[in-house]
Amino acid sequence: MPTPTKITQKQVLTRAIAILDERGADALSMRELAKSLGVKAPSLYRYYPDKISLERAAVETGNRLLLEYVKAGCRRTEKSGMLLAAGHAYRKFAKAKPHLYSLMMEKRLILPPTSESGKALWEFVLALVRNVSGDTDGTACGVALWSFLHGFVSLEQAGRFGASGSRDGFTVGIEALAAGFAAANVHSK
């Protein structure tokens, strides 16, 4: 064995996410990643055929981690506060991993519909809003909730709420949605 294995696929992925976390998406180049792993850039192509495959793997990991956050946030909270708890968990994830979160939402990195991580996340959201609203479908409510959460954390991350901050916009929004979901179900009966 003249050239013993220095790295594994898992290490490559973990290090990529670490760079993302520490220095952002612009800093994540194959050269930088290799240097950070103590190898040269061409070696990385033994583990991921191109950069976008690596990015997609990072997105999958992010999806799984986000689901963990949200599930943990919902545990041991009663139905009435469930949406708010889930929302806080979502926001917490985006704060902890801002660059990974942005990557997860990029258009060019949409995973195929077969992606387990994406489906699992969406199914959890649907179950959540069904539980709150009593609706049997939940698509519309899920879309509305996800839209609000994504919009809020995106604008917050971009610093668009200015010096005055978001005030209670987060709570106001979620409470309004929660009430609206329940009411909408009454009408649809």
Partner DNA sequence: GTCTATATGCGGATAGAC
Partner DNA sequence: GTCTATCCGCATATAGAC
Residues interacting with a second copy, by CB under 8 A?
105-107, 110, 113, 137, 139-144, 146-152, 154-155, 157-164, 166-173, 175-177, 179-181, 183-184
**Angstrom distance (rounded) from CA 120 to CA 140:** 18
* Interaction of residue 50 with DNA, rule CB under 7 A: yes
Sole window of 36-44, 71-79, 124-132, 141-149 interacting with DNA (rule: CB under 7 A): 36-44
Q: Is 3 in the site for DNA (CB under 7 A)?
A: yes
The partner in contact with residue 29, picked from DNA, a second copy, none with C-beta cut-offs of 5 to 8 angstroms by kind, is DNA
Per partner kind, with CB cut-offs from 5 to 8 A, the member of a second copy, DNA, none near residue 30 is DNA
**10 touches DNA (CB under 7 A):** no
Euclidean distance between CA atoms 180 and 185, whole angstroms = 9
For the stretch 77-104, what's the b/e string if a residue is b when 16 or more beta carbons lie within 10 angstroms of its beta carbon? eeeeebbbbbbbbbbbbbeebbbbbbbb
The conformation of residue 27, written as its DSSP 8-state character, comes to G
Residue 23 CA to residue 60 CA, distance in Å, equals 20
Whole-Å CA distances, 148 to 37, 86, 155? 38, 12, 11
By beta-carbon proximity to DNA, the closer residue of 31 and 71 is 31
Which residue ranges make up the site for DNA (CB under 7 A)?
2-3, 5-7, 28-32, 34, 38-43, 45-46, 49-52
